[in-house]
Amino acid sequence: MKKIVKWLIKIFLCHLFYRVKYIGADKIKDMNRCVICPNHSNTVEPAWLYARNDDITIMAKAELFEKKFWAKIFTYFNVFPINRGEHDIRSIMHAINLFKNVEKRKLLVFPEGERLKKDIDRISAKVGPVYIAMKANVPIIPVSITKNVKLFSRVNIIYGDPITVPEELLKDKEKLQQFADRMMDDIYAMGAEYIKRGKK
């Protein structure tokens, strides 16, 4: 079932309705354990990343699990909920524990915590993904995705170099926040740099 769904996503969401190009995907190809951190402006983005990566688990807003039918579907596809706008310690600990006693695990978390509206350029990053990566002792893979794309348009998904989170950040909330915000700066810079190179 999962293989069929992934195949359908590749055909319809990566080739027919959107033209998705993955850049630098080799940086994650042989990486067994990591936290994938992209920017977020389109509801289809999790599907694009799901189609490309194996052993992937996705953190999503709790509102998606309010209907029992959809809750079962999301759970089947390794999606778990987190309550936005509050310190959901239970979900954070669940995310950290996902990496225990497993050889392969990729966790997809959107650091911005919500899908950005078209009239908003940036919001402050959440520290949760950085904290999870640090506690689980796994690298972060920053990912830049073309913002606010329309149907049948080109989408660039750019993988950045792995980021190791220093353990000392755990003791300083301010520095942890600064690290998360710099990471988002780098994510958006990757996209801008790729576009700039393409125009040369």
pLDDT mean over 120-140: 92
pLDDT band at 88 (very low <50, low <70, confident <90, very high): confident
Residue 58's pLDDT band (cuts 50, 70, 90): very high
Q: What is the pLDDT of residue 176?
A: 94
Report percent pLDDT > 70 for the chain: 98
- Using only the alpha carbons of the chain, give its radius of gyration: 16
Q: Which of 10-14, 63-67, 88-92 has the lowest mean pLDDT?
A: 88-92
What is the model's pLDDT at position 21?
96
Whole-prediction pTM value? Answer: 0.94
Question: Which CATH number do you get for residue 166?
Answer: 3.40.1130.10
Q: What is residue 200's predicted lDDT score, i.e. its pLDDT?
A: 46
The number of folded domains in the chain is 1
CA 114 – CA 41 distance, rounded (Å): 8
Question: Which residues have a Cβ under 8 Å from the Cβ of 123 and sit 6 or more positions away?
Answer: 112, 113, 114, 116
CA–CA dist 113, 78 (Å, integer):
18
* Residue 17 reports pLDDT greater than 90: yes
The per-residue b/e assignment along 120-147, b for 16 or more CB within 10 angstroms, e otherwise, is eeeeebbbbbbbbbbbbebbbbbbbbbe
Query: If you average pLDDT over every residue of the chain, what do you get?
Result: 92
User: Is residue 115 scored above 90 in pLDDT?
Assistant: no
Confidence of residue 118 (pLDDT cuts 50, 70, 90): confident
Predicted confidence at residue 121, as pLDDT, reads 78
Residue percentage of the chain with pLDDT more than 90:
78
Confidence of residue 199 (pLDDT cuts 50, 70, 90): low
Range of the domain at 107: 2-199
